[in-house]
Amino acid sequence: MKLSLLIPTVPATVEQAVPFARYVAHDSQLSRLWQGQSYGLEPAATFAYLAGAGYPVPAGTCVLVTPLRHPAQAALEARTVAAVTGQPAVMGYGPGSRAAQMARLGAAYDRPVDAAAEFIRATRSCLAQRWDPPDSGSGGSGGSGGPGYFHPGGALPPVAHPRVRLGLGVLRPAMARAAGEVADAAITWLAPAGYIRDTILPEVARGAEAAGRPRPSVIAAVPVAVSRPGRNPVELAHLSAGGHLVLPHYADMLARAGVDVPANDPAAAARALISGGGFLYGSPSAIAAGLAGYAAAGVDEVIINLTGVHSWYGTDETLLDLNDILAATVSAHG
């Protein structure tokens, strides 16, 4: 299983991302630098800056919300990231919450899974990438003759660039099947390892089999924090995931995983996330063991998410946690 790193903040300046790009550039254990959706600086521009600053590390996004962009713009951004870094890129997309859809589009998608799958197909068309099988409209995730959320408008003029892999943000079974049908990667967020093993992976495989194509890779973003004197795990879990725990689609996913996250009790929701394995807290060796659990569940890549630590303690403490976790991972492997 590969290990990667999420930029643990939404950068207000591009310089804030530099320490994490530098770490990835110099640590052979980390395969990619990821960024989530930003309503400040565009992630593609941040990665371009990092490449120009001397850190052209492999990049990924998990996940950018489709109401903010047209597939042609997404394709342009994606191939720009690959071209400026000189590295294959993984660009993940998802429909976002109903509130985000309403705010940007004036109405929510009536069929979010179809909209997300159609977005992936349209972006791939703009990139002029072939996928297996050709789009026949089969399956339940929005092929030709679907609702018509996105019109790609044809391929962009060709530009040489490393491969772009298109990912789909996955929480629940229907989106997992759609990822199996159309995406190069299924990207989870806050999902416990057991839920990925028992629910997400089988549905991704089922979608791929129905479409007659290989199973996409499964990538899990996992929030973590090392136990240290004075730290409060509930506060760190809330800082890392509190904004997601109040969203209905995340609460539903966690309920399916056996984790009850009451929207009206943030502390109880954070405690439930910890006890349910959606937030890893403990010694570096305990966290390394927890990450190994994702490998055992069949996950191909884990994105280490230290957002809570960064929010409370800053960059130096974040990199200390990362260093200790990676050292424990090496030690666990002998």
CB 32 within 8 A of CB 57: yes
pLDDT at 130: 56
pLDDT at 156: 85
CB 23 within 8 A of CB 29: no
- Cα 291 from chain centre: 16
CA dist 167 and 108 (Å) reads: 21
The whole domain housing 153 covers: 2-332
CA dist 266 and 245 (Å) reads: 8
CB 236 within 8 A of CB 320: no
- The amino acid sitting at 46 is T
**Token duo for residue 93:** 């997309």
pLDDT at 140: 39
How confident is the prediction along the chain (334 residues), in pLDDT tens digits per residue? 999 999 999 999 999 999 999 999 998 899 999 999 998 899 999 999 999 999 999 999 999 999 999 999 999 999 999 999 999 999 999 998 888 888 988 988 899 999 999 999 999 999 986 544 433 333 333 333 345 788 777 888 888 999 999 999 999 999 999 999 999 999 999 999 999 999 999 999 999 999 999 999 999 999 999 999 999 999 999 999 999 999 999 999 999 999 999 989 999 999 999 999 999 999 999 999 999 999 999 999 999 999 999 999 999 999 999 999 999 999 887 6
pLDDT at 331: 87
CB 164 within 8 A of CB 127: yes
DSSP classification of residue 325: H
Q: What are phi and psi of 35, to 5 degrees?
A: -135, 145
Strands 185-189 vs 217-226: parallel, antiparallel or unpaired: parallel
pLDDT at 95: 94
CATH of the domain at 299: 3.20.20.30
- Overall number of domains in the chain: 1
Report pTM: 0.92
Q: What are the angstrom distances between the C-alpha of 327 and each of 67, 122, 202, 255, 322? A: 40, 42, 32, 33, 9
pLDDT at 138: 36
Residue 316: CA count within 13 A, CB half-sphere: 0
